[in-house]
Chain A
Amino acid sequence: MKKALLSGLIGAAMVATAAMAEPKSGGRINVVVQPEPPGLMLGLIQNGPTQNVAGNIYESLLRYDKDLNPQPSLAKEWTVSDDGLTYTFKLHSGVKWHDGEDFSADDVVFSADVFLRETHARFRVGLEHVESITAPDAETVVFQLKNPFGPFLGMFEAGTMPIVPKHIYEGTSFKDNPANATPIGTGPFKFEEWKKGSYIHLVKNEDYYIDGLPYLDEIYWQVIPDAAARAVAFETGQIDVLPGGSVENFDVPRLAGMDNVCTTTEGWEFFAPHSFMWVNNREGWTAKPKFRQALMYAMNREFMKDVIWNGYAEVAHSPVSSKTRFYDTDVAKYEFDPEKAKALLDEVGYDGTPVRILPLPYGETWNRWAEAVKQNLDAVGVKTEIVATDVAGWNQKLSDWDFDLGFTYLYQYGDPALGVGRSYISSNIAKGSPWNNVSGYENAEVDQLFADAALKASAAERQELYTKAQAQIVEDVAAAWLLELSFPTIYRCDVKDLVTTAIGVNDGFKDAWLDR
């Protein structure tokens, strides 16, 4: 009883301190950006490091909380018509571009209809369902759809639909515009300087349209190419924030255990990185479904999770991540069972032809992971060889279908219609890209299920279709799913409110403040 009382008191005290912590303005923060981004114009480049930095310069209409619910950003409110065809957004008033020009609904129409249509491959997928984009007045934008498109409200994230300034880009060649070197957005931070090979300096946008935001005065994104050197820079106090994935996994426990250091695995819900091996469905032993099932039983994915990822992961059982929508919790699971794997190999009459494993050339963690897979497969009698490459070579081999098992990980983008279907539908089989249906999996029924599910407006109907699709794909082992990855963000505990959305540090500095 006394104990309960005491813990109640402590609880009350903690609530009190939390309530007392008023955000403080001012201060500078040092963050690692890895690798150095090729550019900061988010409308042209959407890779990880670019969005890390530019996500604080550019904005879209919405942000998403950690449960993927839409939140206001440039749009302060929005409505979706009952038939799921008309999306109306009311924009914030008094928004200015970083160069002082007024922002208006015309910028939104230009960005979506003209700029991104030309430059943004992933956004084009959503545009196919759009009939028209109009601006009835300066603070209203209306998207009229041809047909209901389930994931549409998830497309207003900064990396998917960054709003770019019409007055700078209209009528120019977007990719060659000299303004790309000095990005102009509406976001909480302005571009100040980029010393190539060294750092990118952002400063507070004093005219930001939400009073009091942002709190920080400046951010330095520092370029440190060596993973061990990044860990040391954090250890010695020169760096405040290590975004997820910027140090090797085996360094994470050491850094996380330091005084005054906090970690979180949140802030990746929108991306939900899903790792797997493409399995060549076209030729060789991997073309046989039973052989592919044997691979799944042979792999000890719990070991990979605990040892190679230091527990910062979950076993992936389905093409859909359990962290996003429409994952089927009852999907059949391939548990670690070497005996079953051997039995299946006997059944298909495997003759010992070596299977080529293509690791992802993203550092030590991935090399060790490929070795773990090799060890598991060797243990059940599958001969393997690891093919070493660099990023460009990996790209090329997957694009040319020159592989048996190829490591990769893909983002889910909050909805199976955006992040999952692309890897399994047969219309997406084409040489020349490592991001389509690289396995070469073909199943007309699955194609139909994905096509239908995207166009349904109701979540319940979509769930039913996605459940069926998952069951079929898992039975066929269209790819060899490994882990749902977590990339812990490591930061000093006096950096507050850093990860508040589903894309974490990519737009996190809007709310972050320093308690120093």
Chain B
Amino acid sequence: MQTLRYILMRLAKAAVILFAIVILNFCLIHAAPGDPAAVMAGEAGASDELFLQQLREKFGLDQPFHIQLWKYISGLLQLDMGYSYRQDAPVWDLIMDRLPATLLLTGAAFVLSIVLGVVAGVMAAVRVGKWADTAITVAALLLYATPLFWVALMAILLFSVQLGWFPSYGMESIGSELTGFRYWLDVAHHLVLPATTLGLFFTAIYARMTRASFLETAAEDFVKTARAKGLSEGRIARRHILRNAILPVVTLAGLQAGQIVGGAVLTETVFAWPGIGRLMFDALLQRDYNVLLGVFLISSAMVLLFNLITDLIYLLVDPRIELNT
């Protein structure tokens, strides 16, 4: 009961925050130089006043700012995210069209980095000071410090160009007309490089975080007690230390999960992955206001949602934590 009350309160707060975000985004985007009509006219290579005027009227850009804002918000309240004049389609359809590809990529990267990161962190911690620990720590530091796009390009050069193991771009073999299991195998084959690249950074963070937290917990009295009781080292590591050491990792995982919609712009661009990050980036360059606002809205909603979920997961991991609204 208390949990339900807590969730409802949090959702109500989230709605207020979301509303503020929408208004802020709307103002920021309109403050950027240029507008969609000018960009579209620019691309046509030739334009006159009439052409620009037609476009602006069609987009509703000829109206005063506050009326545009009001129209957008009243549309949102009716669950209408607007229309992309550039792509000639409702924003909702555009986003839903791209969302699965992004969720597949970021989801795979998320799972990969948590599993790899935690395993590597524990391995380093139980062998603290030995060569395995040093190797893992150095590797994690390197990955943490290397820019994502560079890793991506190097991965393409090595695994696609030199070794020819994985395709360098796209989500499927275009025009191959595969179906069923073979299709998913093909997608998985395409997924390996981008998901790994995207996951490496967080893998490094999880590894470092897990190692530090694990070592700290291992020094606590209750671990000594467990050992004195005669429990096996493996059981102590899993049930006693890791369970207590995992809280900071959960916090970070909540952060990464928040980026699940909007966090893969670079990876999607380099690997030509047809996801939402590219939709957003293109929309930004083209000043496609409605699409950009739509993607922002969905991603900020995701961040709020995952923050809430993270807090609920704390409860599961450590029942001593109390909910407090």
Contacts and interface: CB of A to CB of B under 8 A. Distances in A.
Interface of A: 28, 30, 35-36, 38-39, 45-48, 121-122, 124, 175, 180-181, 195-199, 201, 218, 220, 222-226, 228-229, 232-233, 235-236, 238, 389-393, 395-397, 399, 410-411, 422, 430, 432-436
Given A197-B279, A236-B160, A391-B42, A226 B270 contact: yes
A181 B160 CA distance: 35
B39 A392 contact: yes
Contacts of A121: 41, 44, 46-48, 50-51
Nearest to A39: B88
Contact of B87 (A38, A201, A226, A432): A38
Contacts of A175: 58
A43 to B, nearest CB: 12
Contacts of A195: 274
Contacts of B278: 197, 225
B40 A433 contact: no
A176 to B, nearest CB: 8
B45 interface: yes
B170 interface: yes
Nearest to B167: A238
A433 B174 contact: no
Contacts of A226: 269-270, 272
Interface string B233-274: 000000000000000000000000000000000000111101
Interface stretch (B282-290, B295-303, B308-316): B282-290
A28 B176 CA distance: 11
B317 interface: no
Contacts of A220: 174-175
B148 interface: no
Given A232-B156, A433-B49, A196 B274 contact: yes
Given A46-B44, A196-B98, A198-B170, 9 more contacts: A47-B43, A181-B88, A218-B175, A229-B156, A232-B157, A236-B161, A392-B33, A399-B38, A433-B47
Given A39-B87, A220-B175, A392 B287 contact: yes
Contacts, number: 147
Given A233-B168, A236-B168, A228 B279 contact: no
Most chain A C-beta atoms within 10 Å of own C-beta, residue among B32, B170, B270: B170
B11 interface: no
Contacts of B274: 195-198, 223
A222 B49 contact: no
Nearest to B149: A226
Nearest to A41: B88
A397 B45 CA distance: 16
A433 to B, nearest CB: 5
Contacts of A201: 175
When A and B form their complex, which 6 residue pairs have the shortest distance between CB atoms, in order from nearest? A392-B34, A197-B274, A47-B43, A122-B46, A396-B33, A396-B34
A430 B49 contact: yes
A37 B86 CA distance: 10
B85 to A, nearest CB: 8
Contacts of A236: 160-161, 164, 168
B265 to A, nearest CB: 10
Most chain A C-beta atoms within 10 Å of own C-beta, residue among B35, B58, B156, B168: B168
Contact of B169 (A35, A124, A224, A411): A224
Nearest to B279: A197
Nearest to B32: A392
Contacts of A223: 272, 274
Nearest to A232: B168
A360 to B, nearest CB: 11
B44 A45 contact: yes
Contacts of A196: 87, 94, 97-98, 274
Contacts of A39: 87-88
Given A233-B168, A391-B285, A199 B174 contact: yes
A223 B279 CA distance: 12
A200 to B, nearest CB: 10
A30 B86 CA distance: 26
A501 to B, nearest CB: 19
A497 B132 CA distance: 60
Contact of B46 (A28, A35, A45, A435): A435
B275 interface: yes
A393 B281 CA distance: 15
A391 B32 CA distance: 12
B33 A229 contact: no
B231 interface: no
Interface in B1-51: 32-35, 38-51
B153 interface: yes
Contacts of A199: 174-175
Given A38-B40, A45-B44, A229 B168 contact: yes
Contacts of B160: 232, 236
7 contacts: A122-B44, A197-B101, A201-B175, A224-B170, A391-B34, A396-B33, A435-B41
B170 A222 contact: yes
B200 interface: no
Contacts of A218: 175
Contacts of B168: 229, 232-233, 236, 238
Contacts of A411: 45
A423 B53 CA distance: 21
B171 interface: yes
Nearest to B275: A197
B286 A392 contact: yes
A226 B194 CA distance: 14
Interface string B124-139: 0000000000000000
A124 B46 CA distance: 11
Given A35-B282, A46-B44, A396 B98 contact: no
A217 to B, nearest CB: 11
A47 B272 contact: no
A344 to B, nearest CB: 34
A433 B282 contact: no
